[in-house]
């Protein structure tokens, strides 16, 4: 079964939308990973230097150039 696209003519709009959707998924994944460590960043906790670096690397993920080859930081 073939699904008809709502994009007409030039594939530029389609490609841009697909790329935007990929980045949205990456940000959603990044936000989920950050939320798993949010409790460590509360004002009554002292967050370790390694965890500060990990969280910063997560915030920097959307600055990576290739959405298809994201390098995710690991928790130390």
pLDDT at 56 over 90: yes
List helix spans (H) across the chain.
12-35, 49-60
Report angle CA 36, 76, 71 to the nearest 5 degrees: 75
Neighbouring C-beta atoms of residue 74, cutoff 10 Å: 7
Alpha-carbon distance of 26 to 29, in angstroms, equals 5
Segment 2-40, tens digit of pLDDT: 655 565 666 788 889 999 999 999 999 999 999 999 998
Question: What's the confidence (pLDDT) of residue 2?
Answer: 60
Distant-in-sequence, close-in-space partners of 27: CB < 8 Å, separation ≥ 6: 61, 62
């Amino acid at each position: 079964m073939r699904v008809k696209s709502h994009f007409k003519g030039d594939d530029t709009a389609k490609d841009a939308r697909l790329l935007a959707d990929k980045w949205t998924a990456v940000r959603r994944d990044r936000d989920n990973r950050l939320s798993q460590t949010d409790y460590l960043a509360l004002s009554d906790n002292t967050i370790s230097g390694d965890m500060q670096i990990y969280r910063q690397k997560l915030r920097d993920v959307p600055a990576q150039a290739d959405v298809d080859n994201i390098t995710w930081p690991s928790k130390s």
